[in-house]
Amino acid sequence: MSAQTLLELAKGRFGALTPAEKTLFRAVASGEWADYTTGDEEKDKPANAKEWGDERTIAANRIAWLCADKQARKLVTHKGIQVKGACINGRFDLANIEISFWLILLDCALSQGINLQHARIGGLVLTGSQTGSINADGVKVAGSVFLRNGFKAEKEVRLLGAEIGGEVDCTNSQFSDPNGKALNADGIKVARGVRLGNGFKAEGEVRLLGAEIGGEVDCENGQFINPEGDALNGQRIKVADCVLLRTGFKVQGRINLAFANIGHGLACNGIDSTAGMTLDVRAANVGTFRDGHNTQFVLIVVRFCRGGSTKQSSWCV
Supply the pTM of this predicted model.
0.91
| Three-state secondary structure call for residue 43 | coil
Amino acid at 147: L
Q: What is the pLDDT of residues 119-160, one digit of tens each?
A: 999 999 999 999 999 999 999 999 999 999 999 999 999 999
pLDDT of residue 247: 86
pLDDT of residue 54: 96
Amino acid at 79: K
Which residue spans within 165-309 are E strands per DSSP?
Answer: 168-169, 174-184, 189-190, 194-195, 201-207, 212-213, 217-218, 223-233, 238-239, 242-244, 250-256, 261-262, 265-267, 277-280, 285-286, 289-290, 298-304
CB under 8 Å to 292, separation ≥6 — which residues?
Answer: 246, 268, 269, 270, 271
Q: Delimit the domains of the chain by residue range.
A: 2-266
pLDDT of residue 182: 98
Q: What is the pLDDT of residues 253-305, one digit of tens each?
A: 999 999 999 998 899 877 766 556 788 898 888 887 766 544 444 444 433 23
